[in-house]
Amino acid sequence: MAQHKSPQRRPSIHDVASHAGVSAATVSKVLAGVTTVKPENAQRVFDAVEHLGYRVDPLASDMRRAKRRIIGAIMPEFESEFFGQMVTELEGLAEQRGYTLVAASSRESEARETEILARMHDWRVAGVVLAPVRNEHGPAAAFMKSNGMTGVLIDRVLSDDAFDTVSADSAAASAEVARMLVGKGHGHILVIGLAEQAATVRARLEGFRTQALALNPSVRIDVITSEVSVEPLRSSLRDYFARGERPTAVYSLLLKGTLVALSEFRRRDWHCPNDISLVGFDDAEWMQVTWPAIAAVVQPVRQIASEAMTLLFRRIEGAEGPPTARLEPCQVLMRESVGSPGNGPHPGGGDRQQPPLS
């Protein structure tokens, strides 16, 4: 391709047209792959495109469509591995289909969530992937509904009457965690979470409780939740331990909770798994290199992203029918932070990738 170094104005379709000696409409048709063009003219167009280094202006191209080839993605935050990976996946999937992904962070605020959504509506995005701050019943989903927007809800949702939803099957994963903890003999387990993520937390909690009680009806399950942020959770946890409560294991329903639990453990000089066991919902890279490695529930990011995009584009292409609610299976990585109560570290040894040195 001839790199024309004209930093000034990029060639438009009219430049290509005049260079090829045809009309702009013909150029448009050639590039759109319409076959009712004489091969000779098509070739002239291709040559001109090549020679001028012409590229379609996506903005102008989208002008006449009601739905622009833009997908909006709204995440509660960008700082965690989970949402970071999610955005990366979504971006790739949008790109594959010739769409541009515009990602925005709601910063855990429902007000901001709605503002961003309004701005995306201004852009007339074809669809939105929304990971709501709280759940599917917030103002953001309502805004989408009342404005006839196309979208998919992910992560902190279970099901909705207007939008397709995709999330991790955290109830099943929690049941699996229960199986492992109770199986190791834990009889007093503390579960911590955020109450505002109502449905999700309830699902995780119920999945856990049901399974735990099924295996051992006398197991004691304490629950500590805070409403909005994690800081209240920290002080509740501190109070709880200060009261003398001494569960043998903690299951955190969210990543920040895992961090809070760890920092409270270290404050009291409790070590995992000798003093207490810990499992966290949501995995992170560092969890397998620390001492001990932290057991975690791994969410299927790729599957969630892929399924969400598939459903979204189906709707964009006009698919009717009742919304679906997908649950993607998680994986539970049992690592060294979990042992049997009263014992030393369990021998199993987590997921160390290499055998010990000879």
Kindly tell me the burial class for residue 309, based on how many C-beta atoms sit within 10 Å of its own C-beta (0-12, 13-18, 19 or more).
buried
Among DNA, its own copies, none, partner that 320 touches (CB below 5 to 8 angstroms by kind): none
Cis peptide before 292 (omega within 30 of 0): yes
CA pair distance 146, 294, nearest whole angstrom? 44
Q: Tell me, rounded to whole angstroms, the distance of Cα 155 from its chain centroid.
A: 6
**Closest separation in Å from C-beta 148 to its own copies:** 3
Q: Per CB under 7 A, does 26 bind DNA?
A: yes
Q: Which of residues 34-73 bind DNA (CB under 7 A)?
A: 36-38, 40-41, 54-57, 60-61, 63-65
Q: Per CB under 8 A, does 288 bind its own copies?
A: yes
Lookup: tokens for 96: 């594959």
Q: Which of residues 250-269 bind its own copies (CB under 8 A)?
A: 259, 262-263, 266-269
Q: Which of residues 2-31 bind its own copies (CB under 8 A)?
A: 3, 5, 7-10
Q: Phi and psi dihedrals of 296, rounded to 5?
A: -155, 155
Report the 10 Å Cβ neighbour count for 49.
Answer: 21
Nearer to DNA, 59 or 357 (CB): 59
Among its own copies, DNA, none, partner that 354 touches (CB below 5 to 8 angstroms by kind): its own copies
DSSP assigned state of 355: P
Of 147, 229, 274, 331, the one binding its own copies by CB under 8 A: 147
Of 2, 9, 148, 285, the one binding DNA by CB under 7 A: 9
* DSSP characters over 222-258: EEEEESS-SHHHHHHHHHHHHTT---SEEEESSHHHH
Instruction: Say whether 73 sits in a helix, a strand or coil.
Output: strand
Lookup: tokens for 322: 């009742």
Of 15, 23, 37, 62, the one binding its own copies by CB under 8 A: 62
- List of residues 6+ apart from 77 with CB closer than 8 A: 83, 105, 106, 107, 108
Place of tokens 């006009």: 318
Among its own copies, DNA, none, partner that 1 touches (CB below 5 to 8 angstroms by kind): none
Of 271, 302, 314, 346, the one binding its own copies by CB under 8 A: 271
Query: Applying CB under 7 A, which residues contact DNA?
Result: 9-14, 21-26, 28-29, 31-32, 36-38, 40-41, 54-57, 60-61, 63-65
Residues that bind its own copies (CB under 8 A): 3, 5, 7-10, 55-60, 62-63, 66, 68, 77-81, 83-85, 87-88, 91, 100-105, 107, 118-119, 121-124, 146-148, 242, 259, 262-263, 266-269, 271, 284-291, 293, 352-354, 356-357
